[in-house]
Structure 1
Amino acid sequence: MAAAQDTRRKSEDGLWETVKVIIQALLIAFVVRTFLYQPFNIPSASMYPTLKVGDYLFVSKLSYGYGRYSFNFSVGMFGNELVSCCPLDFKGRIVLPDDPKRGDVAVFKLPSDTSIDYIKRVIGLPGDRIMMRDGILYINGQPVKKERVEDYTDPSEPGLRRPVAQFVETLPNGVTYNVLDTETLGEADNTDEYVVPEGHYFMMGDNRDNSQDSRYPRVGYVPIENFVGRADIIFFSVSPDASLFEVWRWPFAIRWSRFFNLI
């Protein structure tokens, strides 16, 4: 009888230890996702060739400080209340040393519908003058260096199965990245000059002719309070015609070369 009780007690203790480990793991995952890194996946081609449909990436929520859209739940300190323990900017955002930098790839809430997450590249900072002229990006009256490189194709993306003109852009701060030009003169290749308001940023997609970004009224200038975080690393990538949950297709559909690529 005693031996049976000891066995039962050990079994219960072992089960409780397992439950505790699971709870601790869930708490750690919750803290990491809420305050440090949140996973996102890419659903559209607007950031090709930098980000592809089917990429899964970690977004650093710590990079730009915390605001009203940094969390998936409401936090009172980011409303009208002030918090004396933390430095806040004029939009009620906890300020950290890093502001969005030109060239960052960032996730933000769409200003016209904050239920929607967008991901684009930071092109214009507060006070900048931005315009497009014949497909060339101008910042504060100066053309951004744009060099032609080999054409780009992606058989898995319908709009990119034929060769598309590809260029390397170099921003004034030295950040370089590739952009695509699917149309010689697209509808947003010539624009008026945009003057970025204080506390706002001008965002653009790398797939210039297939990106709803700050050149269009639906997006416009993005307030700093709408930023969720900076995209830092691709941790998983799968072909668009396969699902993350279709494990049996992974060996053929996974893009192994994109794992842990820095953005």
Structure 2
Amino acid sequence: MDYDGKPLRKPAETGTWASIRETLKVGIQALLIALVVRTLLFQPFNIPSGSLVPTLLIGDYLFVSKYSYGYSKYSLPLSEYIPIQAEGRIWGADPKRGDIAVFKLPKDNSTDYIKRVIGLPGDKIQMIDGVLNINGKAVKRERIADYETTDPYGQPTKVPQYMETLPNGVVHRVIERDGDNGFWDKTELYTVPPGHFFMMGDNRDNSTDSRDLANVGYVPFANLVGRAEMIFFSIDEGTPAWQVWNWPAHVRWSRLFTTIH
């Protein structure tokens, strides 16, 4: 108390401290909202490899819907550091054949991979002379104009390109960089186990996917992170996205805000 018996009053906050506190409050709220959106709704990813060419290109940035297949341990940020061993999903919804999905690599349960869903539980999958076979039937493919790309030495080249029609009617493009004689163009017969999916890249001769049982193999349902929905940004390979002064010449403007299928 002061000399006349009245309680002392806390000095009013200065305008500077009030402004700082309000800024911190807004910042924390924004971070919490971003965390909720990233965990439950949409997560951004970028494409670092050419395994899904021509559908997705190196330098594409896309949104993945986290709710499409429900939620598992791997829907959470930094899931590899969470000590629980939960293998199920809540509000789970099976992916459809032809979806492009992000998943955690079964080999380490931490590396993000993105491929196309080709085989469902119980399916029998095989590549025969470059042609995808599902449950004993060759998947329809139609040769279209060659795809223009670069060879391993960076020189322009053209490679065979096809429109492939999956059994459920999903149509998408694939390329065969090595023709129909690539390493993974003739495979064993794979039988997809219950609760697992068979994933492949559209760049059939340049994709490490479920055909490689030692490095990828069958993908458990719990490992699915979400479904690729939309490209929100795209820039030429080798051009960092943060170099905004290069955007006018190197951003692939025609790919922005395009849906993925």
Normalized against structure 2, the TM-score is what?
A: 0.87
Offset of residue 27 of structure 1: 1.5
In structure 2, distance between residues paired with 1:187 and 1:23: 51
Is the 8 Å Cα contact of residues 197 and 219 (structure 2) preserved in structure 1?
Answer: yes
Q: Deviations over 1:65-112 (max 9, x none)?
A: 111211124567x635xxxxxxxxxx322133x211100000111111
Amino acid at match of 1:58: F
SS in 2 for 1:220: coil
Q: Are the equivalent residues in 1 in contact too, given 2:149–2:159 (CA < 8 A)?
A: no
Pair 160,57 (structure 1): closer, same or farther in 2 beyond 3 Å: farther
Please list the CA deviations of residues 9-58 of structure 1 after superposition, one character each: whole Å capped at 9, or x if unmatched: 55554444443333222221111112211111111110000000011111
Aligned length: 246
Checking the alignment, whether the CA contact within 8 Å between 1:152 and 1:160 is kept in structure 2 is no
What residue number does 2:68 align with? 63
Report the counterpart of residue 145 of structure 1 in structure 2: 140
- Shift of residue 202, structure 1, vs aligned partner: 0.5
User: Which aligned pairs between 1:44-63 and structure 2 lie closer than 5 A?
Assistant: 44-63=49-68
Asked if residue 257 in structure 1 is aligned to residue 254 in structure 2, the reply is yes
Separation in 1 of the partners of 2:149 and 2:254? 15
- Backbone CA RMSD of aligned residues: 2.2
2:126 corresponds to 1:121: no
Which of 126, 134, 137 is matched with 1:131 structurally? 126
Contact 1:79 1:92 (8 Å CA) reproduced: no
**Whole-Å separation in 1 of the counterparts to 2:176 and 2:66:** 31
Normalising by structure 1, we get a TM-score of 0.86
The residue number in structure 1 matching 2:4 is: none
State the AA in 2 paired with 1:37: F
Question: 2:100–2:117: 8 Å Cα contact kept in structure 1?
Answer: yes
Distance (Å, rounded) in 2 between the aligned partners of 1:28 and 1:52: 30
Give the deviation of 1:163 after TM superposition.
Answer: 0.9
Q: Which moved more, 1:114-123 or 1:150-159?
A: 150-159
Structure 2, unpaired ranges of 5+: 1-10
Secondary structure of the corresponding residue to residue 32 of structure 1: helix
- Partner Cα separation in structure 1 for residue 95 and residue 120 of structure 2: 8
1:10–1:232 CA distance, 2 compared to 1 (3 A): same
Residue pairs, 1:200-239, within 5 angstroms = 200-217=196-213, 218-239=215-236
Higher helix share: 1
